[in-house]
Amino acid sequence: MNRFSDFMLPPAKSTTAETTDALFHFINVTSLIFLVGITIAIIFFSWKYRRRSDEDVTPVISHNNKLEITWSVIPLILVMIVFGWGFTGYMNLITIPDDAYEVRVVAKSWLWEFHYETGFVSVNELHVPANRPVKLVMSSDDVIHSFFVPDYRVKMDVLPNRYTSLWFEVTEPGESIVYCAEYCGTAHSNMLATVFAHTQEDFDTWLETAGSADDDMDPVELGEQLVTRNACDTCHSTDGTRLQGPTFQGLWGSEREMEDGEIVVVDENYVRESILEPNARITKGYQPVMPSYAGTLNDRQIDAIIEYLKTLQ
């Protein structure tokens, strides 16, 4: 069973995963029994009652009410068990414990922002304490996304006009992958994030130092880190490849033609505007799809990114 389970399902890392998995296996096993039984019956009948001559006479068996009732009621009982089980599991999934640690999630095409109580914002990296319920309050800036962590067996759509929430309690420290499960456009399949579950102490330490570690870093190095951390590289390559946005290579100081025909030199002001108001001026040939980083990146960080861009010639 364990081997089968490992093959079919990702490791179970949350407190609620167990119920889901148990039900998953129950349905699999029951279905398999029925499937094998009926398939054997079909094959056996096909062989046993194969046509021997064109004059074969078959018996007149038009119906049998007892049989009809049997094969209606037994499946009915089974599916009612499945329904009850599934519903109980679901109620646990949506009943959020009061003492849950809250993180605010904002989805944008195509990145995840995580806002913590300290005001710190991480992109595509969610840090949570293990062995403690965590509640995510989520909303989207543009289209519908869906927050999905297979290891925790949780998923919830993230909508543009309202808040949705989900919770989980991670059983031990470790990393898990986050997918966007609702199709959201070009880079839908790149909209991944990672959950880092820490022990409570580690988490507290991380939260205290998060963001402040940047202070004494070299601007170019910091800029490089920020580009990765904020998922800029999902759409902007650094090696000249064309993705959803223009590549960063050779960008600095070059002249660009905009959608309206205006020629712009890529300087500090243009980069700054592009980060804070990305859709104000769009390079010709690209779609206005970049989300704004206003409120996510501060001035020092924008400066660092500019310094980094200067090095990519």
Q: What angle do CA 95, 98, 101 make, to 5 degrees?
A: 105
CB of 90 or CB of 300, closer to another protein:
90
- The verdict on 41 binding another protein (CB under 8 A) reads yes
Selected binder of another protein within 1, 2, 3, 56 (CB under 8 A) = 56
CB of 54 or CB of 255, closer to another protein:
54
Selected binder of another protein within 173, 185, 211, 278 (CB under 8 A) = 185
- The verdict on 212 binding another protein (CB under 8 A) reads no
Cis previous bond, 110, omega within 30:
yes
Of 93, 85, 128, 122, the closest CA to residue 15 belongs to: 93
- The verdict on 46 binding another protein (CB under 8 A) reads yes
Q: Which of residues 94-113 bind another protein (CB under 8 A)?
A: 94
The contact mask relative to another protein for 230-269 (x = CB under 8 A, - = no) is --------------x-------------------------
Q: What is the CA radius of gyration of the chain?
A: 28
Answer yes or no: are the C-beta atoms of 131 and 171 closer than 8 Å: yes
Q: Which residues of 110-121 are buried (b: 16+ CB within 10 A; e: fewer)?
A: bbbbbbbeeebb
- The verdict on 85 binding another protein (CB under 8 A) reads yes
CB of 65 or CB of 212, closer to another protein:
65
Look-up of token digits 């960008």:
251
User: What SS3 class is residue 158?
Assistant: strand
> Phi/psi at 109 (nearest 5 deg)?
-75, 115
Contacts with 140 (C-beta within 8 Å, 6 or more apart), sequence order: 106, 107, 108, 158, 159, 160
Selected binder of another protein within 148, 167, 168, 196 (CB under 8 A) = 148
Selected binder of another protein within 93, 123, 227, 306 (CB under 8 A) = 93
Look-up of token digits 């094969």:
71
Dig out the tokens for 111 from the structure. 């990145």
Q: How far apart are CA 190 and CA 107, in angstroms?
A: 13
Binding residues with another protein: total (CB under 8 A): 86
- The verdict on 28 binding another protein (CB under 8 A) reads yes
CB of 146 or CB of 301, closer to another protein:
146
- The verdict on 4 binding another protein (CB under 8 A) reads no
Selected binder of another protein within 177, 213, 265, 294 (CB under 8 A) = 177
**Choices 58-66, 129-137, 251-259, 298-306; region in contact with another protein by CB under 8 A:** 58-66
